[in-house]
Structure 1
Amino acid sequence: MHVRLAEIDSENWYECCGLELTKDQAEYMESNAVSIAQTKFEPTLKAFAIYSEEKVAGFLMFNTVKEELGGYWVYRIMVDRSSQGKGIGKEATRLMIGEMAKLPHADKIVVGYHPDNKGAHQLYASLGFVDEGDRFGREMAVVKYI
Structure 2
Amino acid sequence: MSTLTIKIVEVNIENWYACCELEVAEEQKQYVEPNAVSIAQSKFELTLKPLAIYTGENVIGFLMYNSAPEELDSYWIYRIMVDQQFQGKGIGKAASSLMMDEMVKSLNAKKIAVGYHPKNLGAHHLYASLVFIDNGDRFGKEMAVVKNV
Give me the TM-score of the superposition, normalised by structure 1. 0.97
The range that moved more, 74-83 or 97-106, is 97-106
Aligned partner of 2:79 among 72, 76, 79: 76
- Whole-Å separation in 2 of the counterparts to 1:104 and 1:34: 25
With the length of structure 2 as denominator, give the TM-score of the two structures: 0.95
In 2, Cα distance between equivalents of 1:93 and 1:30: 18
Residue range with higher mean Cα deviation, 98-107 or 63-72: 98-107
1:105: how far off? 4.1
d(CA) in 2 for partners of 1:52, 1:91: 12
1:36 to 36, 39, 52: 39
Match status 1:135 vs 2:134: no
The answer to whether the 8 A contact 1:52-1:88 is kept is no
Total equivalences in the alignment: 146
What is the aligned partner in structure 2 of residue 63 from structure 1?
66
Distance in 2 between residues matched to 1:62 and 1:14, nearest whole Å:
19
Unmatched segments (≥5 aa) in structure 2: none
Q: Which runs of 4+ in 1 moved over 4 A?
A: none
Matches within 5 A, 1:46-125: 46-125=49-128
Q: Larger deviation: 6-15 or 53-62?
A: 53-62
Give the Å deviation of 1:15.
Answer: 0.3
Unaligned segments of structure 1, at least 5 residues: none
Distance 1:18 1:107 in 2: 33
Per the alignment, residue 27 of structure 1 pairs with 30
